[in-house]
Amino acid sequence: MALERVALLDGKLSNWIRRFLKLPLFVQCTVIVAIAVLATASLTLAFYYVFFRDRLALDLVLSMVIAVLVGYPLSRVFLKQTAQLIKMTDELERISRIDDLTQLLNRRSFFAATHSEIAGAQGEESAGALLFIDVDYFKALNDTMGHSAGDAVLERFGTALSACLQEGQIAGRLGGEEFAVFLPYMGKEEAGQLCKKIREEISLIPKELGLEDWRLTVSIGVAVQRTGQNLEELLRSADLSLYKAKFQGRDRTVYFQDADLAA
């Protein structure tokens, strides 16, 4: 219990420090110097009240002036370096979680976030629906239009996919032209509506990028999590659905059925 309290206190302190360091540097320095001045004045007041009461006013003013002259530049240097260090730490953390090209979660972060959602599901309710998305004939796009065009398509794909989602829904790039989306507490019908929206948005990308001669489509495999089904099983179900979508000719959405496991 004591360790939990210490950890909670440490977390609250860390959050408070981060909020404080988001303030303008001038405000940060002013707050710290003000605290230093009050502390210095309090100590001076206590000391001189006991020993040198006749010099109290003059020495109180002098101690406060010294605290300002010394404390402000020191606090400015320290806080500026601390702010830069935290900014670098946050950026490194972001880079470790985000795919640089699409600005979606990378594979590891996507699976971690999805696992957390499934593990947190309670009762008889499904945790949600998983979408596996594959850009059709992407290798041919790279070979025909060049890798720079392929990168532009993936970058725009990430933006379009994010625009289709609502808060709390999770999207990630699994690698290459493969993507995944997890929709917490969403069923087959709602997932199907979103798939339609995604397919419509993706079809507009070639025109936006000046690739009118290329028709961009995606294949989507959808699996709705069953109560008690873990992430690995859900991933397999969505992957089987995506395979069927590609086998049936691509440019379509296929939903997982229990019978698929016997196929």
In 22-177 the beta strands, taken as DSSP E runs, fall at 128-135, 170-175
Alpha-carbon span 68 to 82, nearest angstrom: 20
What is the DSSP pairing of strand 128-135 with strand 218-224? Answer: antiparallel
- Give the number of residues written for the chain: 263
Query: Would you tell me how many other CB atoms lie within 10 Å of the CB of residue 48?
Result: 18
- Catalytic pick from 177, 178, 201, 208? 177
Q: How far is CA 247 from CA 136, 165, 240, 250, 257, in A?
A: 12, 27, 10, 7, 16
User: Which among 83, 92, 94 is positioned nearest to 20, based on CA atoms?
Assistant: 83
User: What region, left, alpha or beta, does residue 123 occupy, with left being phi > 0 and alpha being psi -120 to 50 degrees?
Assistant: left
Six-digit token pair at 162? Answer: 């994010």
Are the C-beta atoms of residues 42 and 85 closer than 8 Å to each other? no
Give Cβ neighbours of residue 22 (< 8 Å, ≥ 6 apart): none
Pairing verdict, β 128-135 and 178-184:
antiparallel
177 annotated active-site:
yes
Task: Give Rg (Cα) of the chain.
Answer: 29
Point out the residues that are catalytic: 177
